[in-house]
Structure 1
Amino acid sequence: MRNYTITTLGAATELLDLPFDRPLEEWNDPRIVQVPRGISRHVVRFVRAHNQIFAIKEATERYVLREHHLLRELADASVPVVDAFGTVIDRSDQQDHHLDGLLITRHLPYSLPYRSLFTERSLPDLRSRLLDALAQLFVRLHLSGFFWGDCSLSNTLFRRDAGSLAAYLVDAETGEMHPQLSRGQRSHDISIATENIAGELMDLQAGGYLSMDDDPVETAMALQPRYDKLWAELTDDEVYPSGESYRIEERVRRLNSLGFDVSEIGIRTEDAGRKLRFETHIVEPGHHQRRVYALTGLRVQENQARQILSDLARFRAKWIEGVEHDIPEDLAARRWLDEKFYGVLGMIPDRLRRKLPDAELFHEIAEHRWLMSEQLGRDVGRQAAVDDYVKTVLSKLPDTAVRILTDPITEEMPVIRE
């Protein structure tokens, strides 16, 4: 008789008959699949169910429940983390021996571990983009009061985001939630990350995936200044002369350009009214994402959203120029969505369409068209750009929506047990 208590967010009927009465390491279920992954302290298995991929990690019940709670709390704070789907506790085997608990998370579609970024089709200046993504993730975590405690590239997943990368927290078991982090806590968190990242880059270098001319320690140490610059931009007070209040709007625009909303501004007079102090108390990520969703209903990542808004602005401007009167932004958005966004995506064969998210495909085709036009000295047009992109780029890419590995012995990262 199977003994366990499963708690999930949503229907989980296909998960109910998994062999919960056996240690995870011994599972031999046909639904188990291999996907690219990083190093884990615990046994982790991936299961396909409900046309989704779930990651299942085995740990003590205390840590399972704690990590599930932290992941949900971070998600509620709009921090990019994996989706905590459920827990399995009170497990015992057929001899009534107690078994550790299980944490169930949804596998993040189109995500890649850091090793895959270095071993597959690479982004230009990959190391810099990787550190920028980590700096943004750290700032969002620290603004929410979360101390990570053991950040590493292996504990992070990455998604391509309009030529950049977006980082997602995967492992929160060492984290702590506080009302607010001190400067010392934030500095210590970045120091731990720097040391771990340097070690992981050394491993990549030893494996031939990083040039011997690159310095892993120097690369890892570049995280701190990136983090400090972004943290200062988001949180530092500024003092403006009273006659230059327009600079407050400039500051808000800079914050918005970084993907954050300003939810509170405190202004007080100083020096007999000659100066103003601008205080950003709380910032919330996803400014452009929310704007795109309001206009188009598309759920995209932040850099993709910036690119979409720029393309939409150009589309609207050309329409206004042609009709010689103003066009409401929501009307332009609906037409842009039908004619441009889905017009471009509709040219891609269905069998290749799912290789990348729609917004990333749209971005890459726009970039491809620009490069082709630059080389030929004329606009090559949409159809020619799509045809060439499909032939020379998309057809050669792996399917990153859910990439199932066929050679787990050589491609799956090893499991490290505590």
Structure 2
Amino acid sequence: MSGSLNIQAAMVDPALLDLPWDLPLQDWPDENIATLPKGISRHLVRFVNLSGYVIAVKETSDDLARREYEMLRTLQRLEIPCVEPVAVIAGRTDENGAPLDSVLVTRHLKFSLPYRALFSQSLRPDTATRLVDALALLLVRLHIIGFFWGDVSLSNTLFRRDAGSFAAHLVDAETGKLYTGGLSNGQRENDLEVARVNIAGELMDLEAGGRVADEFDALEISERIVAQYRTLWKELTGWETFPNQERWRINERVDRLNELGFDIEELVIKTDESGTQVRIQPKVVDAGHHQRRLIRLTGIDAQENQARRLLNDLDSYSAAFGKPHLDEEAMAHEWVSTVFEPVVRAIPKDLKGKLEPAEIFHQLLEHRWFMSQNQSRDVPLAEAVSAYIDDILRHRRDEAMMINPATGMFTAPIDLRPGDLEAAVDPADGDDWRSKV
């Protein structure tokens, strides 16, 4: 290795030193490269195998690498969904002593995919809409903490399946800036307009390549992020006025926020001089209401919608088999040991990389409901597990680490296909599927 490397790392992994830092990233040997689907980037990015996991290596200037590294660490501390920063490596030189660009190293987010990898022959409007909705929620979360993104786009986002929806994770924080005093309306609107224009361009690019369904309208879908963002922002931060005798609406507002997945730190409540009108405004503390409850009760870490679905199953189990002497925590422990863990253990080892355990459990519940509907009987869980593994899971592509074909082109179908479980699932249906049986 030529030169003297300067490594700033958030995690210690000596294997970093074994990588060929004296070569330009584009010249790294195939033995180091993990061929994963990736989005469009202004910088060269390559996925690299390291100590049994995968990292993303991005060549950029030293200043930009260090700035983005620190920003990602800050966002992680604020519990914003984003990629995990690993290191900044500077001082690189080639074998002749010529300087090479610094690199930012991040850890590949398991079970995540760029938007272009979430379809095969054509992107359907409902899939694109769910991606945009996920990005709108991420943008709202960022703005609440005072983060100005500056380059909002589908390309700068990774998506993970989340119980029929998607969860968005920030990938590129190069243009971002955190304002401790919060963002002005102008800054928020700027981010929102950038998002609308970028999304329209990305989807129109797919249209030009014939990679969307015939009924696809890129402009209409790109406009959706504006409407979805404004609805979420108003619900999370807006004032609400109502007559004094309707104070039950305070609890109703809190319930709506919890249903969106947000907890609140405090409520600002004001009354007028006559005492006939009440105004309330919530102060949102963070997203992840259901995630936190699920972790507290079971120790299972899942996406927000997955957590909501698992909690519904837990609540249904408690209602059906609850014992007077057991509290909520004890019932949750029993549900994990008698329902959730047996399902996870039943997944064959060679299929465990298909989906996250929480997503598998969610899809299993849906599959069991469809089986029960089609057969007009309550299908036992064990029977549903076997059918789901053989009929659905075994035919999916691994999403823990999506490997491309040797050509480097992404061709295998990833998202919803005719006959897939999710294609038949309406996320607007009630969360407790067993109420329909």
TM-score by length of 1: 0.93
Query: Hey, what does 1:275 align to over in structure 2?
Result: 277
Query: Hey, what does 1:329 align to over in structure 2?
Result: 328
Query: Hey, what does 1:396 align to over in structure 2?
Result: 395
Does 1:291 pair with 2:290? no
Distance across 2 between alignment mates of 1:18 and 1:378? 57
Query: Hey, what does 1:170 align to over in structure 2?
Result: 171
Aligned partner of 2:387: which letter?
A: D
Aligned residue pairs, count: 409
Distance across 1 between alignment mates of 2:90 and 2:277? 59
**Correspondences of 1:13-412 after superposition (within 5 Å):** 13-28=14-29, 30-119=31-120, 125-179=126-180, 180-320=182-322, 325=324, 327-411=326-410
Deviation at 1:8, TM superposition (A): 1.2
Distance across 2 between alignment mates of 1:43 and 1:64? 13
- In structure 2, relative to structure 1, the CA distance for the partners of 1:292 and 1:124 (3 Å cut) is farther
Deviation at 1:31, TM superposition (A): 2.1
Q: Percent identity?
A: 45
Worse overlay, 112-121 or 257-266: 112-121
Aligned partner of 2:311: which letter?
A: L
Aligned partner of 2:373: which letter?
A: E
Aligned-partner SS, 1:410 = coil
Aligned partner of 2:268: which letter?
A: G
Contact 1:319 1:327 in 2 (8 A): no
Contact 1:74 1:144 in 2 (8 A): no
Distance across 1 between alignment mates of 2:15 and 2:213? 45
Deviation at 1:240, TM superposition (A): 2.9
CA root-mean-square deviation = 1.8
Query: Hey, what does 2:431 align to over in structure 1?
Result: none
Aligned-partner SS, 2:47 = strand
The answer for unaligned runs of 5 or more in structure 2 is 412-437
Aligned-partner SS, 1:208 = coil
- In structure 2, relative to structure 1, the CA distance for the partners of 1:52 and 1:232 (3 Å cut) is same
Deviation at 1:327, TM superposition (A): 3.3
> C-alpha deviations, 1:110-160, integer Å up to 9, x for none?
001111112289899212211110110110111111111112211111000
Worse overlay, 218-227 or 263-272: 263-272
> C-alpha deviations, 1:67-114, integer Å up to 9, x for none?
111111111111111111111112223333222111000000000111
Worse overlay, 79-88 or 200-209: 200-209
Q: 1 or 2 for the larger relative contact order (CA 8 Å, sep ≥6)?
A: 1
TM-score by length of 2: 0.90
Distance across 2 between alignment mates of 1:391 and 1:29? 34
Contact 1:3 1:93 in 2 (8 A): no
The answer for unaligned runs of 5 or more in structure 1 is 413-418
Distance across 1 between alignment mates of 2:66 and 2:272? 49
- In structure 2, relative to structure 1, the CA distance for the partners of 1:305 and 1:342 (3 Å cut) is same
